[in-house]
Amino acid sequence: MASYNKFNNNIQRDSVFVPIMNCGTSIFAGFVVFSVLGFMSHQTGIPVKDVATAGPSLAFVTYPEAIAMMPLAPLWAVLFFFMLYTLGLDSEAGEQFVQVETIIAAVLDEYPRYRKYKLLITAGSCCLLFLLSLSCVTKGGMYVLQLFDWYCANVTVPIVCFCEICIVAWIYGVGKFVRDVEFMIGKVINFYWRIAWLAFTPIALVIILGAILWSSRQVVYENYVYPDWAVAVGWMIAFSSVLFIPIYAAHILWNGKGSFSQRLKRSAIATEDYGPGDSSDFAAWKEHCASTKYYWLRSPIAFRRWLKESKPKDPEEN
């Protein structure tokens, strides 16, 4: 989805601002939720650990019960359910748009000849996702939703992120990536980001994934314990998206030309037409690549000198 940003969008600022806002919002939401649960615990004399519930029942069962005990309960109830309504609209317009657009962008990037059928591909993707989601609105939909949430959200995200960071930092090259980002934003990338992309982030993702797998327990929803076949289905769902990474890599290697080592080397380097989509940006980027060294420990002084020399001169100075 970053392709919708301007080419010179300051992604360094976004990469700091967005996580801080996300964590801050989560902390603030925790204060709001547990203040209400604490009020309910005080009113009923039940410990907070027994009052708090996970999942959708917190929003649709526990929280309304707590609001009913508060002064001006109808007012708080209206505000609370209006908030849930706006949250649903935001999730529908935000998350669903991102998911559908990700599918469409991947298909059209891989098969550019189908760009003229974008409307049909969009309609087909929406219909397919609609049919797949019908299982979540049946009588046992909460059990299906819990199974999806248990495996898909926890396991696949660290694996996909680990693959992405390794491809960018270790295969494409952190030096080239820094060179590209510096060209886009016109600023020097701090040394910290190089270390984070090369070491800190991959190690942290491996630790997170290991902790998830180590602490994984039997899937339960309320008092229902999922059978073994449901657990197997959950793991299949979790790895269904991850498996496409090695499958597609094997597809590229299998259909390539030359020896295996040649195909492997060719698939690990950028193509000739790789670069900015705009022709003027592409030409400037090619010139930047030719005149800039991209050692991963390159001194920022060299980049500042390049910026100073590449600035267009004022006509009055001539």
Would you state the pLDDT for residue 44?
77
Of the candidates 155, 90, 156, 98, which has an alpha carbon nearest to the alpha carbon of residue 125? 98
**Helices in the chain by DSSP H: which ranges?**
11-44, 48-51, 56-57, 63-68, 73-110, 118-133, 141-151, 157-166, 174-185, 191-195, 201-215, 228-242, 244-255, 260-267, 279-291, 300-310
Where do we find the tokens 């390794």?
166
Lowest-confidence pick of 45-49, 71-75, 137-141, 209-213: 45-49
Measured at the CA of 152, the angle between CA 148 and CA 157, to 5 degrees, comes to: 160
Which string of b and e fits 56-79 if b means at least 16 CB within 10 Å? eeebeebbeebbeeeeeeeebeee
pLDDT category of residue 294 using cuts at 50, 70 and 90: low
Select the highest-mean-pLDDT range: 43-52, 58-67, 126-135.
Answer: 126-135
The pLDDT of residue 200 is 93
Say yes or no to pLDDT of 287 above 50. Answer: yes
Distance CA 122, CA 97 (A): 11
5 has binding-site annotation? no
The mean per-residue pLDDT over the stretch 208-233 comes to: 82
- pLDDT band for 94, please (50, 70, 90 cuts): low
Listed by start position, the domains of the chain span: 1-70, 139-311
Residue 14 annotated in ligand binding: no
pLDDT band at 205 (very low <50, low <70, confident <90, very high): very high
Residue 87 annotated as lining a ligand binding site: yes
CB atoms within 10 A of CB 303: 20
Q: Which tops the pLDDT comparison, 165 or 64?
A: 165
Please determine, for residue 162, whether its predicted confidence score (pLDDT) is greater than 60.
yes
Percent of the chain at pLDDT > 90 equals 5
| Predicted pLDDT at 93 | 53
At 90, the pLDDT band (50, 70, 90 cuts) reads low
Q: Between β-strands 220-221 and 224-225, what pairing exists: parallel, antiparallel or unpaired?
A: antiparallel
Asked whether residue 50 is marked as a ligand-binding residue, the answer is no
Mean of all residue pLDDT scores within the chain: 80
**Confidence check: pLDDT of 188 > 70:** yes
Is 317 a residue whose pLDDT tops 50? no
State what percent of residues in the chain have pLDDT above 70: 86
What's the confidence (pLDDT) of residue 297? 45
Structure tokens at 252: 């590229």
Q: Identify which has the larger pLDDT, 294 or 83.
A: 83
